[in-house]
Chains A and B, each alone.
Chain A
Amino acid sequence: MREITLSQAVNEAIAEEMRRDPTTFVMGEDVAEAGTPFKVLSGLVSEFGTQRVIDTPISEPGFVGMAVGAAMTGARPIVDLMFGDFIYLVMDQLCNQAAKQHYMSGGKLSVPMVLRTNLGATRRSAAQHSQSLQALVAHIPGLKVAMPSSAYEAKGLMKTAIRDNNPVVIFEDKLMYQDKAPVPEEEFLIPFGVANIKREGHDITLIGTSSMVQVAEKAAEILAAEGISAEVIDPRTIVPLDEEMLINSVKKTSRAIVIDEGHQSYGVTAEIASRLNEKAFYHLDAPVLRMGAMDVPVPFSPALEDVTVPTPEGVAENARKLCAGRMIHAA
């Protein structure tokens, strides 16, 4: 199968959907000629024109609000938010307006829009351009949240997101844009709410989002050499979440670590761990661990930044302890 980069996969997905549905259009900063600073959307404006690939001023609340209005009245906008950190700027339009219109109108108005943005640290972009804020939006009823972990997921999830009649926030890991993965040429969509078992195992379940899937996979390799068999699962979307697959896995392995690049406290990991606790309690032979980024603003210095995020060695070490029955914290 051919391999393409995550960037190419996103580009293909959007282009295909724009060809298929004339009500779809893209808007955001530097999306047209520049194709965004990450070059993900290069070429779209040549095919679809500036009418459907719209460069906006630096007005995040304004253009996200406009996307909401366009979506409410028959279009399907794909809004590019250059850095996930800017989600704070658009919270009213995203969480008070987009997320709630369908409910507040008793089902009469819908907001079929996609907010495309990114996450991920270790790029030396410092505190305000390195955040992974999926937990903020996952918390809001009415939004859906997708987290592709490779080019394959990026394409399949993007297409589903564009066709979904709800506001969907997609987070791409900005460090993965040049990473390649096998992606079919034929059309395919990845449904929301369906997780993927990347690697089967029976001693411990490692649940990772976005690039933490690769971290988990590397940890699984390390553990395999020590005789510990780790199962790696990618939820792919955190809202909706494929609880059933995660719970079944934990019932099989009786141990789990959840890894996400949001901060350690009050994050996605806490939610998933909590659900495993509630629904697989009597199958747990070890506490479910959360591994997130440290509860610090992302530091600039490379010496500091790299220690703030989960690593394969860190995951493996925790897995070892859990499998040995050594509780990580005091009883």
Chain B
Amino acid sequence: MPLDVIMPALGMAQDTGVIVRWLKAPGDAVAEGDALFEVETDKATMEVEAQGAGYLTGVVAEVGAEVPVGQTIAHISKTPEDAASAPEGTARTPDAAKASDSDATPVGEQVIMPALGMAQDTGLIVVWRKEPGAPVLATDILFEVETDKSTVEVEAGHDGFVAALLAEAGEEVPVGDVIALISAQKPDAPVSRSIKDGASVVAEPAPVAGHPAPKAEKPSTGPTAKAQDGRILASPKVRRLALERGLDLARLVKAGHPQPYHVKDLELLIMLPAATDPTTVSAGAARHLTADVPSDAFAAFAIWAADEAGMSDVSALLAGLAAASLGKGDITVAVETFGKAYNYAVSGRRLGAVTNADKDAMPDLRLRDLRNARLSAVQMGAEEIPVLSIMAAGDGLMLTLECSAEHLSALDAITFLTDFAGRMEQPLRHLL
């Protein structure tokens, strides 16, 4: 004793039940098995029986209240006056005795924030329609509650006097919490306070929506961030190995090596020159070839070409001869002479067909005409493209080819310089 009278579980899909009718009044004697109240379910109205004998007391849910399953709504007590004892086992209804101890709250019938809808956990008190201490009938409107649909008027549910208002207008109260007390006698010291002041147990706030799972750390994929064209396609293993060895896969991209990259591509990556800046000195695998042309026949040839064929641009002639010697089809040759650089597009063998190329075009080959300079030898290191330097050497010429191992294979470099030296020695051969 006292025995809890609870809202029973009514069916698989039901979380709450609406009280349609009380069949016993507070203070009535009940026998075990007596029907106490009727509950509406989605199929029909159901009677709920008393589980023990005694007197019905402590009724806290009135007709029309929607009560969660399992919640205590009344007691069956030894005596009919046992109304003050708080229902056990419910988190939502405060211990009224405790309240009266700590805050001198008057005792009375409890008025709770009713469940107004299936999805509603709290109700916002819009306004109290009765003052503390005022007389009230059960059917009087005691307060207004805002739901997500509209404002609902709630009846007092008990005759008597407003002994305590336990929440203020504008406060949001969890469903099931006690928000007012109605006493049978006029209270000496009616109370009005905020829910924050009270000893009421506030229902736990809705759990904070879980933090979204922290973004999985992007696994390190090697130095791809520096890739010029975004993502690099490479296997997980080659990325890991590149990372471990401090190699940058992006350089393979820059070197024009086709993706996707696999482990065997690391051999290539290792051999790439470290320099990307034309002015920096390359490491290791640079090629430096020289050729000695004993007699400079080109100068005479250039004069002849200008006179006889109207080809007055010496640099263009050089470009044409160089391109032909390189033998890699149509290329753009940058010729630097007297401190100026000119780009030429070379197509085919006809020197007359060498045309000026756009200044911004990317040359494939650089030719430095240093015949009028006082330099006798150059060792500049590999630049970003192969560089052919032409210097005067006595009666002839000193030709220097510099490139990286990746620009030209050894064989190609040798062939190129040999061929060019040959053409510089006997330019007329080119015309054959």
A residues with CB within 8 A of B: 254, 281-286, 325, 327, 331
Q: Does B137 contact A (CB under 8 A)?
A: no
Does B236 contact A325, Cβ atoms closer than 8 Å?
Answer: no
9 extra A-B contacts, CB within 8 A, seeds A283-B236, A283-B240, A285-B263: A282-B237, A282-B240, A285-B235, A285-B237, A285-B262, A286-B235, A325-B264, A331-B259, A331-B260
Query: Residues of B contacting A325 with CB < 8 Å?
Result: 260, 262, 264
Distance in angstroms between the alpha carbons of A326 and B263 in the assembled complex: 13
29 contacts between A and B (CB under 8 A): A254-B235, A254-B237, A254-B263, A281-B236, A282-B236, A282-B237, A282-B239, A282-B240, A283-B236, A283-B237, A283-B240, A284-B235, A284-B236, A284-B237, A285-B235, A285-B236, A285-B237, A285-B238, A285-B262, A285-B263, A286-B235, A286-B262, A325-B260, A325-B262, A325-B264, A327-B260, A331-B233, A331-B259, A331-B260
Query: Residues of A contacting B235 with CB < 8 Å?
Result: 254, 284-286
Distance in angstroms between the alpha carbons of A327 and B233 in the assembled complex: 11
Distance in angstroms between the alpha carbons of A47 and B291 in the assembled complex: 96
Among B235, B259, B260, the one with the most A-chain Cβ atoms within 10 Å of its Cβ is B235
10 closest cross-chain pairs (CB), A and B: A285-B237, A325-B262, A282-B240, A285-B235, A285-B263, A284-B236, A331-B233, A282-B236, A285-B262, A281-B236
Distance in angstroms between the alpha carbons of A327 and B261 in the assembled complex: 11
Distance in angstroms between the alpha carbons of A313 and B236 in the assembled complex: 27
Query: Residues of A contacting B237 with CB < 8 Å?
Result: 254, 282-285
Query: Residues of B contacting A282 with CB < 8 Å?
Result: 236-237, 239-240
Closest CB in chain B relative to A171 CB, distance in Å: 33
Interface size class of B (residues with CB under 8 A): 10 to 19
Query: Residues of B contacting A286 with CB < 8 Å?
Result: 235, 262
Query: Residues of A contacting B264 with CB < 8 Å?
Result: 325
Distance in angstroms between the alpha carbons of A284 and B240 in the assembled complex: 10
Distance in angstroms between the alpha carbons of A325 and B259 in the assembled complex: 10
Distance in angstroms between the alpha carbons of A248 and B427 in the assembled complex: 65
Distance in angstroms between the alpha carbons of A327 and B258 in the assembled complex: 13
Closest CB in chain B relative to A55 CB, distance in Å: 46
Closest CB in chain A relative to B388 CB, distance in Å: 35
Closest CB in chain A relative to B233 CB, distance in Å: 5
Query: Residues of B contacting A284 with CB < 8 Å?
Result: 235-237
Q: List which B256-312 residues lie within 8 A (CB) of chain A.
A: 259-260, 262-264
Distance in angstroms between the alpha carbons of A175 and B260 in the assembled complex: 41
Distance in angstroms between the alpha carbons of A282 and B233 in the assembled complex: 14
Closest CB in chain A relative to B243 CB, distance in Å: 9
Closest CB in chain B relative to A273 CB, distance in Å: 14
Closest CB in chain A relative to B267 CB, distance in Å: 13
Query: Residues of B contacting A283 with CB < 8 Å?
Result: 236-237, 240
Q: List which B236-257 residues lie within 8 A (CB) of chain A.
A: 236-240
1/0 per residue B329-350: CB within 8 Å of A?
Answer: 0000000000000000000000
Distance in angstroms between the alpha carbons of A325 and B235 in the assembled complex: 9
Query: Residues of A contacting B260 with CB < 8 Å?
Result: 325, 327, 331
Distance in angstroms between the alpha carbons of A285 and B259 in the assembled complex: 13
Among B239, B260, B262, the one with the most A-chain Cβ atoms within 10 Å of its Cβ is B262
Residue of B nearest to A254 (CB): B237
Residue of A nearest to B235 (CB): A285
Distance in angstroms between the alpha carbons of A24 and B264 in the assembled complex: 57
Q: List which B28-84 residues lie within 8 A (CB) of chain A.
A: none
Query: Residues of A contacting B240 with CB < 8 Å?
Result: 282-283
Closest CB in chain A relative to B232 CB, distance in Å: 11
Distance in angstroms between the alpha carbons of A327 and B259 in the assembled complex: 11
Residue of B nearest to A286 (CB): B235
Query: Residues of A contacting B259 with CB < 8 Å?
Result: 331
Q: List which B204-249 residues lie within 8 A (CB) of chain A.
A: 233, 235-240
Distance in angstroms between the alpha carbons of A97 and B422 in the assembled complex: 90
Query: Residues of B contacting A281 with CB < 8 Å?
Result: 236
Residue of B nearest to A323 (CB): B262
Closest CB in chain B relative to A282 CB, distance in Å: 4
Query: Residues of A contacting B233 with CB < 8 Å?
Result: 331
Residue of B nearest to A281 (CB): B236
Distance in angstroms between the alpha carbons of A283 and B263 in the assembled complex: 10
Closest CB in chain A relative to B250 CB, distance in Å: 17
Distance in angstroms between the alpha carbons of A18 and B7 in the assembled complex: 61
Residue of B nearest to A282 (CB): B240
Closest CB in chain B relative to A10 CB, distance in Å: 42
Distance in angstroms between the alpha carbons of A254 and B262 in the assembled complex: 10
Closest CB in chain A relative to B98 CB, distance in Å: 43
Distance in angstroms between the alpha carbons of A283 and B239 in the assembled complex: 10
Closest CB in chain B relative to A294 CB, distance in Å: 28
Query: Residues of B contacting A285 with CB < 8 Å?
Result: 235-238, 262-263
Closest CB in chain A relative to B6 CB, distance in Å: 31
Distance in angstroms between the alpha carbons of A327 and B239 in the assembled complex: 16
Closest CB in chain A relative to B234 CB, distance in Å: 9
Closest CB in chain A relative to B236 CB, distance in Å: 5
Distance in angstroms between the alpha carbons of A39 and B166 in the assembled complex: 86
Distance in angstroms between the alpha carbons of A281 and B235 in the assembled complex: 9
Residue of B nearest to A277 (CB): B236
Among B233, B236, B238, B259, the one with the most A-chain Cβ atoms within 10 Å of its Cβ is B236
Distance in angstroms between the alpha carbons of A327 and B234 in the assembled complex: 11
Distance in angstroms between the alpha carbons of A262 and B379 in the assembled complex: 66
Residue of B nearest to A327 (CB): B260
Q: List which B182-200 residues lie within 8 A (CB) of chain A.
A: none
Distance in angstroms between the alpha carbons of A327 and B235 in the assembled complex: 10
Closest CB in chain B relative to A182 CB, distance in Å: 37
Residue of A nearest to B220 (CB): A282
Query: Residues of A contacting B236 with CB < 8 Å?
Result: 281-285
Closest CB in chain A relative to B263 CB, distance in Å: 5
Among A284, A325, A327, the one with the most B-chain Cβ atoms within 10 Å of its Cβ is A325
Among A281, A282, A286, A327, the one with the most B-chain Cβ atoms within 10 Å of its Cβ is A282
1/0 per residue B129-169: CB within 8 Å of A?
Answer: 00000000000000000000000000000000000000000
Closest CB in chain B relative to A192 CB, distance in Å: 31
